[in-house]
């Protein structure tokens, strides 16, 4: 394998302070990503990592904890002992009750002599965001620092505004890095390259040529020990408000003047603000919510959402959402965007399908008039790829048309390790690049758009529609597309 591009990496010294340092996210994502960046030689030699948590440990105990819990989550090639040891040398631990400002002197002392940019990563529940920021300010640690906020950032528009207001009292917007890890995925970066690095698609990327767009993020996993959190969140808040609307904004945005953070984020914001509002009757017609019932995933029986630990009896939290939305601007007016996400579905796939209009008149028989004959499928995961579907003539006599594909599988073409989303995003935080982080006004616009759905569901007596685990969701999701004369990709014959 060849080494991947490291353009944009820098070697500025830093101190990376990880609140929630013994939590699930630290263990599964953040520390493995920092290790990968260390292994790839992308971190400054004197960059330091400080784990912060309430667990009673000293640095030695924390390193032991990191060995046991983090190592298994490191992706890619086997871990070389010397590299692992040199990674551990970067790490220290501070025991601290993050909700008590009087304890922060320990942290200040620990950071005392460290040189370089201070980064505070809040891998904690959102309830701690404001207390931590306040305590950092009182301890004199906020000035010139960067703060990274994990989702969920609030529960609705109001609570997210409250957090943003409070954090904004202490940190300027250009110090705040709101993570949406989908923006760090290689494939999402590629979407920008595909759209803005080629002239091929741009003339077709509009209502005159595009009939509909579908965005699917499907998971086989259930709530995986997060029942308690998930039951208060649901798929709309967990996935649609952030990941899916971010994907939509990248698909639909105008070409930015540059890749500067605000140039990109201004264009995404315009899309989010142009999402057609959904009145209650439209919500009932065009938004489907579902909840998984027992079924099987890869032939293994799995339980109902209701039977998951931490889920309230009779819970009406949705584990599936499908909806239709339009973008009200000159480029996209009238083009339906169908979004779908769910847990315990028939496969793990994230993809975007751009369906082009059929030819206006076919001299070659009815096949050429069929919707979906010309389509671009951008597969984000697994196996990142781009497929262009078209019609060709079957060999032999006559003119019989048949669907064919041009395929680009990125793994095969580049034969390089992919960079994990968290590695890219953490390197961007360290390097001070904000383009892949969500600006406050984007987040507000997304919450504002989903708010009426949340409100309407709160008044609906009927529960979410059931679906068997291991299927593609409730029948109403297929019916939604059928009403628009289309179907989800797996429903095609």
Q: Between 219 and 308, name the residue whose CB sits nearer to ligand BG6.
A: 219
Closest to 439 measured CA to CA, from 262, 271, 257 = 262
Shortest spacing between CB 237 and ligand BG6, in angstroms = 9
Shortest spacing between CB 284 and ligand BG6, in angstroms = 26
Sequence-ordered strand ranges (E) for 244-344: 287-293, 295-297, 300-302, 320-325, 337-342
Q: Between 47 and 184, name the residue whose CB sits nearer to ligand BG6.
A: 184
Closest to 449 measured CA to CA, from 460, 438, 439, 441 = 441
Shortest spacing between CB 449 and ligand BG6, in angstroms = 18
Q: Between 40 and 238, name the residue whose CB sits nearer to ligand BG6.
A: 238
Q: Between 96 and 346, name the residue whose CB sits nearer to ligand BG6.
A: 346
Q: Between 242 and 286, name the residue whose CB sits nearer to ligand BG6.
A: 242
In three-state secondary structure terms, 132 is helix
Question: How is the beta sheet containing 14-19 ordered, strand by strand?
Answer: 91-95, 48-53, 14-19, 117-122, 146-149, 176-178
Query: What is the distance between the alpha carbons of residues 291 and 153, in angstroms, rounded to a whole number?
Result: 24
Shortest spacing between CB 160 and ligand BG6, in angstroms = 15
Return the structure tokens found at 143: 């000035």
Within 10 A of 241 (CB to CB), how many other CB atoms are there?
A: 28
**Strand partners of residue 93:** 51
Contacting residues for 315 by C-beta, under 8 A, at least 6 apart:
231, 305, 306
Annotated catalytic, 405?
no
Q: Which residues in this chain contact ligand BG6 in the complex, by CB under 6 A?
A: 219, 238, 350
Query: What is the distance between the alpha carbons of residues 315 and 327, in angstroms, rounded to a whole number?
Result: 33
Query: What is the distance between the alpha carbons of residues 428 and 142, in angstroms, rounded to a whole number?
Result: 19
Q: Between 185 and 273, name the residue whose CB sits nearer to ligand BG6.
A: 185
Q: Which of 38, 69, 181, 243 is flagged as catalytic?
A: 243
Shortest spacing between CB 111 and ligand BG6, in angstroms = 30
Q: Are 123 and 149 in contact (CB under 8 A)?
A: no
Which helix (H) or strand (E) is 121 found in, with range?
Answer: strand 117-122
Return the structure tokens found at 244: 């899916």
Active site residues: 243
């Amino acid at each position: 394998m060849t080494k991947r591009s490291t353009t944009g990496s820098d070697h500025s010294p830093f101190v990376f302070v990880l609140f929630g340092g013994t939590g699930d996210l630290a263990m599964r994502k953040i520390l493995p990503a920092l290790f990968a960046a260390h292994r790839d030689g992308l971190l400054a030699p004197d960059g330091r990592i400080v784990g912060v948590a309430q667990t009673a440990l000293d640095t030695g105990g924390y390193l032991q904890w990191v060995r046991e819990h983090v190592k298994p989550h490191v992706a890619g090639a086997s871990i070389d002992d010397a590299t692992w040891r040199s990674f551990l040398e970067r790490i220290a631990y501070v025991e601290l009750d993050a909700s008590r400002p009087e304890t922060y002197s320990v942290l200040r002392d620990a950071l005392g002599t460290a040189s370089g940019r201070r980064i505070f990563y809040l891998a904690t529940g959102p309830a701690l965001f404001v207390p931590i920021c306040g305590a950092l300010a009182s301890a004199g640690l906020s000035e010139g620092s960067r703060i990274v906020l994990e989702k969920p950032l609030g529960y609705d528009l109001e609570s997210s505004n409250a957090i943003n207001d409070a954090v904004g009292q202490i940190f300027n917007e250009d110090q705040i890095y709101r993570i949406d890890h989908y923006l760090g995925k290689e494939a999402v970066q590629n979407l920008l390259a595909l759209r803005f690095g080629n002239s091929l698609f741009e003339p077709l990327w509009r209502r005159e040529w595009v009939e509909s767009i579908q965005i699917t993020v499907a998971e086989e996993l259930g709530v995986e020990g997060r029942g308690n959190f998930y039951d208060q969140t649901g798929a709309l808040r967990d996935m649609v408000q952030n990941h899916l609307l971010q994907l939509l904004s990248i698909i639909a945005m105008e070409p930015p003047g540059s890749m500067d953070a605000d140039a990109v984020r201004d264009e995404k914001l315009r899309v989010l603000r142009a999402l057609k509002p959904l009145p209650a009757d439209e919500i009932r017609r065009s938004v489907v919510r579902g909840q998984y019932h027992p079924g099987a995933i890869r032939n293994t029986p799995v339980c109902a959402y209701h039977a998951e630990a931490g889920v309230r009896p009779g819970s009406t939290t949705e584990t599936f959402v499908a909806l239709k939305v339009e973008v009200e601007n000159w480029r996209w007016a009238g083009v339906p965007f169908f979004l779908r996400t769910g847990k315990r579905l028939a496969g793990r796939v994230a993809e975007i399908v751009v369906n082009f209009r059929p030819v206006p008149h076919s001299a070659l028989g009815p096949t050429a008039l069929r919707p979906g004959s010309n389509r671009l499928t951008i597969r984000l995961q697994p196996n990142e790829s781009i497929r262009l579907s078209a019609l060709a003539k079957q060999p032999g006599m006559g003119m019989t048309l048949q669907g064919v594909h041009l395929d680009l599988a990125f793994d095969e073409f580049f034969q390089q390790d992919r960079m994990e989303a968290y590695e890219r995003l953490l390197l961007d935080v360290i390097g001070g690049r904000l383009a892949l982080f969500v600006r406050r006004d984007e987040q507000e616009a997304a919450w504002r758009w989903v708010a009426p759905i949340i409100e309407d569901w709160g008044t609906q007596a009927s529960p979410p529609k059931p679906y068997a685990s291991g299927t593609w969701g409730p029948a109403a999701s297929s019916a939604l597309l059928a009403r628009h004369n289309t179907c989800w990709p797996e429903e095609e014959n």
